[in-house]
Amino acid sequence: MLNAKFTDIPADYVTAIDELLVHNGYRFVLDSLNHASVVSAGGQLTLRATWSNLGVAPYYHRRAVSYRLSGAGGTAIFESGADIRTWLPGSWDQVDSFTLPTDLPAGSYAVKVALLDRAGTAPDTPALSPPVSYTHLRAHET
């Protein structure tokens, strides 16, 4: 047993333990998020995400992957059907398609993504690196 939490970690081991803790458990990273640059109100928005779990284990509880468009014209929120409990260490692609609201005003919108708590109402501890990803989408009138 190295320390059993009774004493400070010996200086010779600090770097190795810090490295171990970085890789322990799960660590989700959004590697890329791609979509069309222009989508009409009421049209289909397809989001192609490449994710990585840089840790050594999956996440064991359900959390929602949520996308939010936000801009001067308002906000639209979409929830992915992804089940993060299946996100084992490694990389994979997730494709989601959503229908934009028909009353979404023309304008520029930031596309943000977050992992929400199990209730699906608020971000929990940051689970992405970075916690929120920003790309830009331009909605136009049909």
- In DSSP notation, 86-118 reads G--SEEEEEEEEEEPPTTPPSEEEEEEEEEEPT
Burial of 70 (0-12, 13-18, 19+ CB in 10 A): middle
Residue 107 has pLDDT above 80, yes or no: yes
Distances (CA, A) of 108 to 9, 62, 111, 120: 51, 32, 10, 26
- Amino acid at the residue 42: G
DSSP annotation of 35 reads -
Given this model, what pLDDT does residue 125 score? 43
Average confidence (pLDDT) over 14-36? 84
Question: Does the model's pTM come out above 0.85?
Answer: no
Peptide bond just before 130 cis, omega within 30 deg: yes
Average confidence (pLDDT) over 47-65? 88
